[in-house]
Every structure is written in C-alpha cells, then in structure tokens.
Chains A and B, each alone.
Chain A
Amino acid sequence: MIVRTLIARSSLLIWVIAWSSLVSSAQNGGAEPNRESRYPLITSEELKRLIDSKATQDIVIVDTQPREYFADAHIPGAVNLPYTDRIKPPVNLPRTKTLVLYCPCQNEEESTEMAIQLEKLGYSKLKLLRGGIPRWRELKYPTAKISTGKNPSE
C-alpha cells in the first residue's frame, strides 16, 4: 500500500515537473528552450526590459556583426566588435561590467566563439543573447542605425 502511494506520488511529481518545464518553454517566446550553452543566456525580452527600464549601467551590449551590418541595424546602445577568429588586444571593453554578446546567428555560434576569445583575454562576466539579432528582429524590437561604426577594438 505504502509502495503504491509512493509510486503514485512520484509519478504525479514527474508530471508536475514535465508540465512546468513545458509552460516555461512556451513563455520563452518559442525560442529553443534548453539548448546547451557554454555561457549564460539572456533572452531578447529580458534585455529589452533592461534597456526600457534604463537598467543597463552594469552591462555592455556587444554586437559581433560585420561593421556594415552594425551601421545598418543594431540593438540600441550596442558597441561593435566584429567577429574575428583572433581578437587583437587591446580591447576597449570594461572588465567590471557584464558583456552581453550577440551575433546574426540563430544559435549564438559567433557570439560563443567571441566570448571564448574574450574569456582568454581575461573577461569573466560574459552572457550571450539567445537567438541573436534575428530573434530581436522577429519580436519587432527597435534597432538603431549609424553612419560609422564604433569599434572598441580600435
């Protein structure tokens, strides 16, 4: 009897856990829910909230698009550090703030590679924007334009 009750309760618990993970993935705006990432991920929705509430003083948004694409459209407030397979120091980015990197990739491939390089250069506070700029655009969030790209590596 006790065993049967235990089995029934644990099955119920499993269902509750499975259901809540489903709900949380749905709330994630359709983005791939539990994709593994080497660095912590931040969603477009979370980043937008930070920008809207002017709570970005502890972060630097880093755009890894080629300069021309950055000039055409980037997340407001972002700085441009175009993708390269070898970042040449000095990198003009603060080490005390969290760097939120994003790329034009759906699965953060480029921003991950850039984060790995930055980590080797001593940056420890690194986050990646889940889904990159395509997800940001999908949500129809605003982008900014400039005539010449700010490049922190220069």
Chain B
Amino acid sequence: MRRPLVVLIGVVSLIAFGVPCLAGQSKTVSGLAVGETTPSFPVLAVTGPHKGKEVCYVCEFIGAPTIFAFFRQTGDEMASVVKELNELARRNKDIRVVAIIIEGQESQPWLEKFAQEHSITIPLTVLRNGKDDIAMKVYKLNANINNTILMSVKREVAANLVNVNAENFKMLTNALSKVLDQKVE
C-alpha cells in the first residue's frame, strides 16, 4: 500500500524539481535580452584609432548594426573567436564589431601583441575596472561565461549568444543574417 505512494511522491518530486534544473543547465544566461536598449558605456581602447583612450563605442557607432563581443579573459579560445569576428567585419563593411575583455587592464600587453601578430583590425578593448566595472551590471553580464555576444541595431539588442567558439561560430553568422535580413558569410 505504501509502495505506490512512495513511487508517486518520487515521480512528482522529479517533475517538480528535476526538470527545471535540467532546463536551467542547458540555458546559460548572460547579457541584455533581445529588445533591450544598449546603454552607453566607456571602455579603454587597447588597439585601433582610439588606442589608449576611453571610448564609448555605443555612441560612436550610433545606430549601425553592431556586434559587442564580451570575453571573460584572453587566451586561445578568445583569440580564435576574435579572428573569426575580424574576418566577419572585413567581409561585411556595414557592420561594426568591437571586442571587450572583461578581465581588465592587465590583458593589454597580450592584446596588443595578438592584434599585431594576427593583423586584427577590429578594436580590442578592456573594461577599466575588470569584473567590478559598472558595465557588468548595466549589461547584465555573467563573469563566469567565456563570452557573451550581443548584436544590436538602432541601439536595440537583436540577438544574444553565449559561449561562441570557432566550431559553433556558424550560429553567430546565422543570427547576424537573420538580424540584417541578408545572407552573411
């Protein structure tokens, strides 16, 4: 008599707690949601025409289709995605791309060397105060995620992707094609 009751409680518990946990694991959240406005935020430019200066790329790019790629830290994985982004920007002159490294100012020498060695032309920037920077809160960034890629058009988030890498980069070009309503290679 008691056995079916125990089984029933087990099944109900699994549905109530297990399923949401599994769903939560598969969906990693970081960055502003689609439809939200992109607030202006200053970064420290490590490369590009504003090298060494505080710049607001949201302001500079105004309403142009823009990719803001936030990376947790420098390294091989970040490097491979930045190279892909650089190529994307080279092929599609209408879009603006900026890479922002969360780990902060200590990554500057690495970024300068990397940009020089690989002819990276998209601006590489850092958050002045690392993961304590106000941008982390304003952009709702999760500091534990490798990267958060936001695409915006007319200062509105049109796509939000996380943990992009060289292998799944196609999902970024697909999302961009959808956002721009044109094929992006």
Contacts and interface: CB of A to CB of B under 8 A. Distances in A.
Interface in A107-136: 107, 109-110, 134
Interface residues of A, number: 19
B53 interface: yes
A112 B81 CA distance: 35
A134 B42 contact: yes
Interface string B49-70: 0100111100110100000000
Contacts of B41: 66, 69, 104
Contact of A104 (B40, B53, B137): B40
Contacts of A68: 134, 137-138
B96 interface: no
A104 B42 CA distance: 7
A85 B37 contact: yes
Interface of A: 65-66, 68-69, 72, 82-85, 103-107, 109-110, 134, 137-138
30 contacts: A65-B40, A66-B39, A66-B41, A66-B138, A68-B134, A69-B42, A69-B134, A69-B138, A72-B134, A84-B37, A85-B155, A103-B40, A103-B56, A103-B59, A104-B56, A104-B59, A105-B40, A105-B56, A105-B59, A105-B60, A106-B50, A106-B56, A106-B59, A106-B60, A107-B59, A109-B59, A109-B60, A134-B42, A134-B53, A134-B54
